[in-house]
Structure 1
């Protein structure tokens, strides 16, 4: 190895992404000003953002937690809803009378 390559190795600085450099700079500024509570708040917010489950995970959990409804219970429930939505007036009239608006 030559002397020049050894000097280059000694002066090598590892690349740090811009996001990390900015975070470190903000951390150093906050430490200098003595506002460590703001720094702790930032760290807590970042941890909470990482810990939050996605909506897809929440939806799948809700589906698993729902009580199972049997087929007959589902049919009975649908029939109850249909009966509630029907009005007696329309069921007693023929389609022809409803179409012409006869009362």
Structure 2
């Protein structure tokens, strides 16, 4: 019995003793009172939040609308020469408005087209006024005279005089005849209109020839 006890004691003494080590801390856990690594801080700075595609399109369309509105305001300022101001009928931009972004885009597009049309109409009216003033002042001048700047201050003096019965007619009658036959005159001392070659006192041999030609 004593021999068995001695053998058991010797076997227990020959076994290696087990040591209990404390648990190791994980590398991805931040120790209490410690700070995070620089790499993790850089990852946080580079992090970009996810934005849904629909929201990204909405933001992009909103930027385009604001840019178009700004350009239209600058054009209006250049045309009018005054500082840009918001129109009373402008639709408010942004997600808080009651109108969709597509409707806002269509509204601004229509306003820009109307503004362009009004500018073109204004330019055409100014050109028409210039042409009318030139036509009124140079209706009886030839192209050569206008190119060389030739002007006539004194009327051509001749010995011809209209018939007496034509001279005795009223100025209202002369105006009616000029208007009927589209006779354009300007200046002072305008002679009365003549409706036939005979009244113009053409030579007697010339009048039958002109009548035969249907003139």
- Interval containing the TM-score (normalised by the shorter chain): 0.3 to 0.5
Considering Cα pairs closer than 8 Å and 6+ residues apart, tell me whether 1 or 2 has the greater RCO: 2
Q: Tell me which protein shows more helix as a share of its residues.
A: 1
Superposition TM-score, scaled by structure 2 size: 0.20
Superposition TM-score, scaled by structure 1 size: 0.34
Structure number, greater radius of gyration? 2
